[in-house]
Amino acid sequence: MEDLRLLQSQGFHILKTRPRCIWKVYSSSSTHNIIQVMLIYFRVYLISHPELGEIAAKVLSNEKFDANEWTVAGILNQEQDHICPYLIRYILAKQCEELTIILFEYENMKSLTNLVKNTKDSVSINLLQVILHQLLYGLKAIHSVNLIHRDIKV
């Protein structure tokens, strides 16, 4: 509820709410062979704004916001027009008192897992080729600016 009030106070109109998302972030200590798991909870909204149009907003607590994510987004945004049309563009990040809002292009497709599970017949080889081409092209683009992906969700 706090998310919605914050977005509305910033001039956004909420069009659709996605269920709460969870990221599992793993970090390890090489000196102690300890692996820590941190769960990051956030929500993603389809929103509209008079100047920005329809976009997505990810809202998470300030303590869970990783500035490196925004740095990487900036690197990709600078090079994106040249390297890959299949990567989502990040628009803006704003840190408020307790929450951070990250604005980015809205992707209207569901996950690949959803596609496979909800397809009654088998997925066509042509569709798989298109998906794999875009996925590999995106990975190549990420690697071309010396970045390594943390996780890829399907």
Tokens linked to 122: 């088998």
Determine the pLDDT at residue 90.
82
Q: Give the pLDDT band of residue 118 (cuts 50, 70, 90).
A: confident
pLDDT higher than 60, residue 56: yes
pTM for the whole structure: 0.68
Please state, as a whole number, how many other Cβ atoms lie within 10 Å of the Cβ of residue 79.
Answer: 16
Q: State mean pLDDT over 96-113.
A: 80
Q: Give the pLDDT band of residue 125 (cuts 50, 70, 90).
A: confident
Give the CA count within 13 Å in the CB-facing half-sphere of 120: 0
CA distance 116 to 104: 26
More confident residue, 81 or 112: 112
Tokens linked to 76: 């990709």
Q: State mean pLDDT over 82-111.
A: 80
Tokens linked to 105: 């292009």
Q: Where are the domains of the chain?
A: 2-107
The arrangement of secondary structure in 2-107, i.e. its CATH architecture, is 2-Layer Sandwich (3.30)
pLDDT higher than 90, residue 41: no
- What does the mean pLDDT of the chain come to? 76
CA distance 53 to 104: 11
